[in-house]
Amino acid sequence: MQVSVALIRPLVVRTVPVGDPGDLVSCLPDTAPYAWIRHGEGLVGWGEAARATVPPGPDRFRWARDWMSALFADARIDDDVEVPGSGPVAFGSFTFEADAPGSRLVVPRVVLARRGGRAWLTTIGEDDHDAGHRPGLRTPPTPPGRIRYGDGSLTALEWQHAVAQAVRQINDGRLDKVVLARDLTAVAENDIDVRFLLSRLSTRYPECYTFSVDGFTGATPELLVRHRGNAIESLVLAGTTPRGADEADDLARGAALFASSKDRYEHVCAVSSVREALAPLCSALDVPDEPELLVLPNVQHLASRVTGRLSDGASVLDVVAAMHPTAAVGGTPTGTALEVIRELEGMDRAGYAGPVGWIDARGDGEWGIALRCGQITGNRARLFAGCGIMGDSDPVAELAEAQAKFRVMRYALES
């Protein structure tokens, strides 16, 4: 276990209203940016006031919650805004597997935020509260240049074989569904500037949640949980088809997805797992009877928006702990699906399909499932995509779906 606090305790925190900063990504310096943006709103941060490397294990979310509580309990907080996301904020990413190392929480020294017509700046240990976001301190992001792609842990044919094995196990009755992921490698001509990726992702995929934590960057369509006071919200996605070649093809694909018994059953499994996770925490829970169609630039999803009210004042990390992993990224039943993933994927997912997001000192926050993402290190990126495998899944079609999901990060990398 490693825990470090970069400033002398207690933390001295100041949040003040500011004028509209414009594009949030353009305000970021070139040093390890943090981000959570949707439709131009959200939070960006830089610098490091405190960091925790979360020890692996079944109690990691509770450990993270307790670390946050202890860190913020004696902080001197002067917050003139007092909304979710003001005051001290930690950005975090958790690995998909509970026993895998690599989960972390980071409290930036500076956080710039905008939501609902309001903007604010939070600084920790900074006397000059305007110094953190003067435009003159910014350098423009550098494009990565030429990109070379390569296979990750499995080749395309090897991954198709893994899908076929999963289908056999499903049809033999071992499980109902499993999500299999694959990775690709990308090597750029220049070091990859995360701000370049954030700008392209947030512009091209505004409906998604564009995120960055320690170079782990992407644009996920799936909101695991939004926590504001006692109100929570989750967007469940399961069932996918690529976009069509034209409007008529697009409409036909969406209609076929909505009518697909395979995709509808996959979606039912995902919604059921969310309902079962949230019901013990909630005094009220609203789960729609029918999904809607979420249309993104690269794919279409079946989507269900689940809302509820917490009964016992749980923090957002308590809700994340109850929900992860959902059937949408693991499978059904969950325990068996995780066994099959370990047997067939042939790789460490690291943060892919794990929770990513932010939490403030009140326990409010927003966490997504890390999809359509990659880990950036220097001029290299490891990209991830996954598909829900059912008994009638076709390995060739599943590979095509994974390729469609890879387009998100390939678009971000290619100038």
- Provide the annotated active-site residues: 177, 222
Distances 133 to 21, 122, 123, 311 between C-alpha atoms, Å: 9, 11, 10, 39
For 322, other C-beta atoms within 10 Å of its C-beta total 17
Query: Is there a contact between 300 and 260 (Cβ–Cβ < 8 Å)?
Result: no
- Share of the chain residues as helix, strand and coil, in percent rounded to the nearest 5: 30, 35, 35
For 16, other C-beta atoms within 10 Å of its C-beta total 15
As beta bridge partners, residue 179 has 388
As beta bridge partners, residue 231 has 228, 309
- Report the alpha-carbon distance of residue 131 to residue 29 in Å, rounded: 12
Query: Is there a contact between 312 and 280 (Cβ–Cβ < 8 Å)?
Result: no
Q: From the DSSP assignment, how many helices (H) and strands (E) are in the chain?
A: 8, 24
* DSSP strands (E only) in 12-125: 12-17, 34-38, 41-46, 50-53, 76-79, 89-93, 104-107, 110-115, 118-124
